[in-house]
Amino acid sequence: MVVALIIACEVGFWVLLALGLAARYLLKWRRTSVFLLLCEPVLELVLFAVTAIDLRNGAEPGWEHGLAALYIGYTVAYGHYTIRWLDGHAAHRLAGGPPPVKPPRYGKARARHEGRLWVRTLLGAAVAWALLQGAVWYVGEGDVSSLRAFQWVAVRVAAIHGLVALGYLIWPKKDPAGTPEVTAERQAEKEGARR
């Protein structure tokens, strides 16, 4: 049941996002769009509640409960980022807005970008770890090895992403001087620094 709900929440996330962006840019219904996008966190609350009820009703803690915690952690950390990113693309494609700024590809700017993404991953891992720890305490004396295993999955994901981000800092990719793409990226970085 929990796995089906995780899949339903993921599908629901994208359906609500598509409906919200369509209402905003195609139908020009700003309030409806805001309402639809604010319904996104409700999906995670439903998943959290159903997982807790499943455990309370005596379900053996399994991988599906760990996966639910990782999904909620990811959505907390990257949900708003994803919505904002897609909103920029929808504004450009559907409403004639400016093209969204691409992430930097070279040098320290890329390292900073990767560092900010790693902080999001760290937040997601911390949320997942805390939810799993709460589930361990909630279950009490039962077999919680699968929940503990998913706690370590969250820690490993954050550590691996941290190493990748650190690699961009230690070995920054050099930009080929004078190419139009790089010049545009430098201009975008300068404008971002002024804000």
- Whole-model pTM: value is 0.82
Residue 195 has pLDDT above 50, yes or no: no
- Where residue 157 falls among pLDDT bands split at 50, 70, 90? very high
Q: What is the pLDDT of residues 63-96, one digit of tens each?
A: 999 999 999 999 999 999 999 999 999 999 998 8
Of 1, 6, 131, the residue nearest 57 (C-alpha): 1
Segments in the chain forming alpha helices (H): 2-25, 30-38, 40-56, 63-95, 107-139, 145-170, 180-194
Residue 14 in tokens: 């994208």
Residue 3 in tokens: 């796995």
Place of tokens 């999904």: 71
Q: What pLDDT, on a 0 to 100 scale, did the predictor assign at position 178?
A: 52
- Where residue 52 falls among pLDDT bands split at 50, 70, 90? confident
Q: What is the pLDDT of residues 117-156, one digit of tens each?
A: 999 999 999 999 999 999 989 888 778 899 999 999 999 9
